[in-house]
Structure 1
């Protein structure tokens, strides 16, 4: 798919809002996305068909419902591109009420970016990993020997992280305007944070809450003080 084609697909605000919503990693129905972007179901269906045809989304039909999710590789593309705009959130409808405003504030503090940690939490983890030489920047991020040992202590075997995606990469955070950790290591860290009870979801969206155990672990392991 050409750059011009991708740019054309994401140039529409409704289609951009759909893609940003799908960064939560879940499959959404056409109706849910229509309500999110505040467009008619017929309009949503037309836009979704273009995104699927363009390869940015994949779809699955179950009964009467049509589910869509971001295609492989599209999540990092959407998150990276959103950071070059006016903060990414401009493509989403303005908050309608206090509840939506609170949700967006929570997402800025800690959220998932598809399958890795983002927001202030994600950037803090990335900074700490670099400061403690768990990760090094050698013409691109690499996991050091100290980092491999630290990951192993968390129960993450970096040798088992096989697949087409990079082992570790930067992802530009649209709220912080700095990088958090993505790639296979970023995804494994996020999953382990859930397994260890360091973070938990707030409702069904992308926003996360760092638990008391998580605050202690982040401080002990990475010298991160989120309250500061």
Structure 2
């Protein structure tokens, strides 16, 4: 059984506490006073490093904490009855994992690192306790949960109403926006997931995803070198979504 590497928080730790972390506005976007943010240091119980392709948690594990991604990226998935993987989401630095376990107190999906990653462990019991004494914390946490709900709703829209090329265009634009929020280029980024995983997430076959990528390159919308993406015509991608071609 894989041992989980957990690093306790100490004064000597690298700047990991919420009040010192430059990711706080991404993973927990607080509009709070400096003193209130200082109290958030009590939330972070440990850092945990997860190797590429290793699990942070598995479906059915007891729910004890939520996780803020300090570095790296993850995918969440469920295994279907026939053994196939269904990817349910991709999460990157500054985003949250573990919210799936709140309602049943058991995790409903698997969380797997797409690269060597690190998370801050936020004990849910401590979060609830601190929410009762730190004004605004509960409201801000609800905002985080709402953001996840909105993202899930966006995926349902993709799967329910868009053609294959529209789905891929929307996915690339979404990744562009998320990289931009982290201070990276909106037009050039590295996708850690495979095309097969993208297909699973978007409800498309691998061959369909590959054809759509090839078509986007031929039309001068993007340039692809393995997993490295350059968006050459962001307006063209947006036009695909807002003015799709007729269904054939």
TM-score by length of 1: 0.34
More strand by share: 2
TM-score by length of 2: 0.32
More helix by share: 1
Structure number, greater radius of gyration = 2
